[in-house]
Amino acid sequence: MTERLDETVPGEGAPGIAASSYAADERLLAELRAAWPPAAPPSSPDAAVRGYVEADLRLREPTAALRVGDRFALALTAEPDGAFGVVPLARDDVLVTSWRRAVAGDGLSAFVAGVPLASERSIEADQTNASVVVGERAIVKWFRRVGPGPSRAATLIAHLDAVGFGEMPAPLGSLTWGRGDGPDLTIAQGDTYLAGARDGWEWCVERLERHVGHGETDCPAGCDPWIGVPLGRLVARLHAALSTPSDVLPEPPSAADPRTVAVWRARADATIDDALRLTAEQDPAAVAILAAIAPAMRADLDAVASGRPVAIQPVHGDLHVGQVLEWSGGLAIIDFDGNPALGAEANALRQPGERDIAQMATSLDHVGRIVDHRTAGSARPIVDAWIARTRREFLGALDPDPALLGAFEVEQECRELIYAARFLPRWRYAPLAALRARYGG
């Protein structure tokens, strides 16, 4: 990493991934192919316990391999869209040739952070990427999927730093694959660890649960469940910073022409179709509900005016409450890499700000659905009132185009259903409940 922490891990130097680019190792690639797939780590939980359903490596062969020291390696598997799956590997002894999947505690993250004796622990949350806390001082985030283009996060973080946006963890460097036949791809990203920080799936849910525990729609003093205004103002400050010119992005704002808007509309329609199809394969009762409200969902897409340009700017790209940390210094936004489950077009650097706003608004709704699910519906009036007020106050701190917002919210809920079908089936209840509440299904 190019920057260093002010304090050190006991017995070690300060964590920091040296700015380096690893080249492919053909000998290691042949070794991995001869014994593919790698073994599971010791005491690896099954998918039902882990939550996130990892790719079946028996169906993917490594196309490149990176050697990281004597005991660690990275395998890259080719994806149909030109991206690559990332498989961190470890072996238990330098004399042992067999490789297995690496997990927190093996020392890979501490090694690349330059503090090989530091502790490691994984962040136990359902997520598309895997994050490891190193020495309680840094976080190393491993991307499960990279490419085909360069990391958007590097551009956005450099731009935000240049314009003075400080409401994010300080970056500590990255590990990249120097492809040679294409742009370097970021495999892992290091950031400062904010002590005591919790993401919104913890602190937002906890505040609503505390509110529900009082059994009142108006929370008494000290309960503080009303998070809409601070989150709305934070997003407004982020968007203002992203739209401010810098040497990195001299002209951040732009406009999408009517043809591009038509492409968004077609993509959103296809997302509804995919959500219906994938849900039908797993939950016939749910797809019957979706089919009944699909016309109303498509009508929200039709509400976006055609024939006029739409303002676009750099956006976060995957903005939800889980990307907002609460810590002793306030709130901080993380993960500017876009949605790794989507393609390059959907992760375009410049999009309407309503895309971010819709993602955050739907996630706030999902906070309510989580609490409703945990309480088996016993506190639904309180939860529904919280959702309505939080949404109203969040949007009140911003100024979104209502038609664009509605269309992006429909698309986002369908993306959530697709995510549930492909990776996390037990999550389906949240977007389904949100859509039923919105459309009366």
Are 128 and 265 in the same domain?
no
Residue 12 lies in a domain: no
| Residue 61 contacts residue 40 (beta carbons within 8 Å) | no
User: Where does the pLDDT of residue 345 fall: very low under 50, low under 70, confident under 90, or very high at 90 and above?
Assistant: confident
What mean pLDDT comes out for the span 251-258?
95
Q: Which residues of 19-42 are buried (b: 16+ CB within 10 A; e: fewer)?
A: eebbebbeebbebbeeebbbeebe
Q: Indicate left, alpha or beta for 412 from its phi (over 0: left) and psi (-120 to 50: alpha).
A: alpha
Instruction: Give this prediction's pTM.
Output: 0.79
Are 158 and 244 in the same domain?
no
Q: Which of 192, 227, 250 is the last residue of a domain?
A: 192
Are 163 and 202 in the same domain?
no
pLDDT digits (tens, 9 = 90+) for 366-379: 999 999 999 999 99
C-alpha Rg value of the chain to the nearest Å = 22
- Tally the residues of the chain: 441
Residue 11 lies in a domain: no
Q: What pLDDT is recorded for position 278?
A: 95
User: Where does the pLDDT of residue 216 fall: very low under 50, low under 70, confident under 90, or very high at 90 and above?
Assistant: low
Residue 10 lies in a domain: no
| Residue 209 contacts residue 54 (beta carbons within 8 Å) | no
Lookup: tokens for 187 = 């495999």
List, edge to edge, every strand of the sheet that includes 330-333.
198-199, 324-327, 330-333
Q: How far apart are CA 51 and CA 44, in angstroms?
A: 12
Q: What are phi and psi for residue 39, nearest 5 degrees?
A: -70, 155
Are 185 and 204 in the same domain?
no
What mean pLDDT comes out for the span 243-258?
96
Q: What pLDDT is recorded for position 19?
A: 56
Residue 280 lies in a domain: yes
Residue 397 confidence (pLDDT) above 80? yes
Residue 53 confidence (pLDDT) above 70? no
What's the total number of domains in the chain?
2
Query: The CATH number of the domain where 216 resides is what?
Result: 3.90.1200.10
Q: How far apart are CA 52 and CA 292, in angstroms?
A: 30
Are 118 and 161 in the same domain?
yes
Q: Which of 169, 192, 215 is the last residue of a domain?
A: 192
| Residue 101 contacts residue 88 (beta carbons within 8 Å) | yes
Of 22-31, 144-153, 164-173, 177-186, which gets the smallest average pLDDT?
Answer: 144-153
Q: How far apart are CA 132 and CA 364, in angstroms?
A: 26
Are 215 and 289 in the same domain?
yes
Residue 3 lies in a domain: no
Are 83 and 126 in the same domain?
yes
By DSSP bridging, strand 350-351 and strand 310-314 are antiparallel
Are 183 and 284 in the same domain?
no
Which structural domain range is residue 233 located in?
A: 198-439
Are 166 and 52 in the same domain?
yes
Q: Which of 146, 164, 192 is the last residue of a domain?
A: 192
Residue 100 lies in a domain: yes
Are 222 and 365 in the same domain?
yes
Are 113 and 147 in the same domain?
yes
pLDDT digits (tens, 9 = 90+) for 110-131: 999 989 999 999 987 646 678 9
Residue 307 confidence (pLDDT) above 90? no
Are 314 and 226 in the same domain?
yes
Residue 14 lies in a domain: no
Residue 358 lies in a domain: yes
- Could you give the C-alpha distances from 239 to 147, 330, 400, 407, 421, in angstroms and in order? 25, 18, 12, 20, 32
Q: What pLDDT is recorded for position 58?
A: 82
Burial class of residue 376 in the structure, from the number of CB atoms within 10 Å of its CB (0-12 exposed, 13-18 middle, 19+ buried):
exposed
